[in-house]
Amino acid sequence: MTPKVSRFLRDHAPATPCLVLDLDRVEENYRRLQAAMPLARIYYAVKANPAAPILERLTGLGSCFDAASFEEVEACLAAGARPEAISYGNTVKKESAIRAAFERGVRMFAFDSEAELRKLARSAPGASVYCRILVGNDGAEWPLSRKFGCEAEMAKELMILAGELGLDPFGISFHVGSQQTRTAAYEAAIAKVAMLFTDLAEAGVKLRMVNLGGGYPVRYRQEVPEIDEFGAAIMGAMAEHFGNALPEIVVEPGRFIVGDAGVISSEVVLVSRKAKDDPVRWVYLDIGRFGGLAETEGEAIKYAFRTPHDGGAEGPVTIAGPTCDSTDTLYEKSNYRLPLALEAGDRVELLATGAYVTTYASQAFNGFRPLAEHYL
């Protein structure tokens, strides 16, 4: 938690649940990533947190943007971003959305199938396109499914077809999973991309860009490698496989930029036990999975907590949300412990919650309103 966020919570005690986010930390993280990978162009993954103050701050820093929908394209433009600084990075797009983005000046699009490629050829003629390939996700705390990407051999065929359809076969992208904790995941993916570059060059298609995706981690309960370690590993792999003929390098950070800039303030609604002698207390908060903490599914992302009783005696807890739904249980198997003095009415903070919370919040499940947002 940054000093600015701490002061705001102390001085204003805003109604809970709410997110409080420090824009100066967003800028600091952006500059740290720039320093770690100075040859890369940063495309902020808008889906991590699309709040206008964040987009405006990043626009002022010269950031580019990775948009997952036409609505996110519009949000970036409204924040002052240039259309040529926006990549439409979702491989699943309505053709009307492709057309609308192209008409607004967007010229960079992702795809991973022939059907999507043909939509782009019809509705974004001459656009620069990049194909997303499947890579391993080992080491990711929020691993990805096979929903996005195609096998390398198919990507080769599709990039050849892209040129035949009048599009610009610009590059290849991949994503090694969110909250990726192993630098080796990027190194292996870069090796795979380099082979594809070589194969396509032999087929007469000269690619010019590698999109490394996102996944760069933030600290929750456990330490993670510093961004400098990822930068060194990535740039080392790029040099090893591409030599002096480095292509343009794109990164798409979301969590890394905004994650540790934000804190959720929540109220304890109830502390109870399931039996008189049960050592495990159930702690119910006024925010849960349906209030924005969707990444607790499978207890994948494990947020750290701060309470007014830290430093006192602790005991095991199960942590749940307030809704009348049994799946609204956040942590039952992850060995969380909270102070024994914790009681209903206490305020607690969930740290590093600036990413993938506000946009996951339901609109009115059980009648609960989405959490409030404060950008400092």
pLDDT in tens, 228-286: 999 999 999 999 999 989 999 999 999 999 999 999 999 999 999 999 999 999 999 99
In the chain, beta strands by DSSP E? 18-21, 40-45, 64-67, 86-88, 108-111, 128-132, 140-142, 168-173, 178-180, 209-211, 248-251, 262-273, 281-285, 305-306, 314-320, 329-331, 337-339, 347-351, 372-375
Burial class (CB in 10 A: 0-12, 13-18, 19+), 202: exposed
pLDDT of residue 144: 66
161 pLDDT more than 70:
yes
Instruction: Provide the pLDDT confidence category of residue 175 given band limits of 50, 70 and 90.
Output: confident
- Give the tokens for residue 231: 């930068």
pLDDT of residue 336: 97
Q: 0.85 cut: is pTM over it?
A: yes
Candidates 185, 250, 190; CA nearest to 45 is 250
pLDDT of residue 86: 98
Exposure of 285 in the CB half-sphere (CA atoms within 13 A): 30
| Mutual angle of helices 95-103 and 114-123, in 10-degree steps | 40
Instruction: Provide the pLDDT confidence category of residue 147 given band limits of 50, 70 and 90.
Output: confident
Percent of the chain with pLDDT over 70: 97
Candidates 350, 237, 233; CA nearest to 283 is 350
pLDDT of residue 88: 98
224 pLDDT more than 90:
no
Instruction: Provide the pLDDT confidence category of residue 214 given band limits of 50, 70 and 90.
Output: confident
Instruction: Provide the pLDDT confidence category of residue 74 given band limits of 50, 70 and 90.
Output: very high
Instruction: Provide the pLDDT confidence category of residue 375 given band limits of 50, 70 and 90.
Output: very high
Looking up tokens 């102390």, which residue turns up? Answer: 10
- State mean pLDDT over 36-62: 97
| Mutual angle of helices 227-242 and 23-36, in 10-degree steps | 30
Instruction: Provide the pLDDT confidence category of residue 223 given band limits of 50, 70 and 90.
Output: confident
Instruction: Provide the pLDDT confidence category of residue 140 given band limits of 50, 70 and 90.
Output: low
**Mean of per-residue pLDDT scores for the chain:** 94
- State mean pLDDT over 19-34: 98
pLDDT of residue 145: 62
pLDDT of residue 136: 63
pLDDT of residue 357: 97
Report d(CA 248, CA 209) in Å as an integer. Answer: 4
- Give the tokens for residue 16: 């809970």
142 pLDDT more than 70:
no
Lowest mean pLDDT, pick from 120-124, 149-153, 292-296: 149-153
Torsion on CA atoms 376, 178, 149, 95, rounded to nearest 10: -20
CA of 33: how far to CAs of 24, 55, 190, 226, in Å?
14, 17, 19, 10
Lowest mean pLDDT, pick from 87-101, 207-221, 304-318: 207-221
306 pLDDT more than 70:
yes
Q: Where in the chain is the domain with CATH 3.20.20.10?
A: 23-258
Lowest mean pLDDT, pick from 27-31, 83-87, 135-139, 198-202: 135-139
* CA angle at 76 for the pair 73 and 82, rounded to the nearest 5°: 95
The yes-or-no answer on residue 324 being catalytic is yes
Q: Residue 307 is which amino acid?
A: T
pLDDT of residue 60: 98
Instruction: Provide the pLDDT confidence category of residue 185 given band limits of 50, 70 and 90.
Output: confident
Report d(CA 179, CA 181) in Å as an integer. Answer: 6
Q: Where in the chain is the domain with CATH 2.40.37.10?
A: 260-375
37 pLDDT more than 90:
yes
Q: Which CATH class is domain 260-375?
A: mainly beta
Exposure of 176 in the CB half-sphere (CA atoms within 13 A): 27
Candidates 248, 218, 213; CA nearest to 68 is 213
177 pLDDT more than 90:
no
- Give the tokens for residue 70: 């036409």
Select 23-258's CATH number: 3.50.50.60, 3.30.70.560, 3.20.20.10, 1.10.10.10.
3.20.20.10
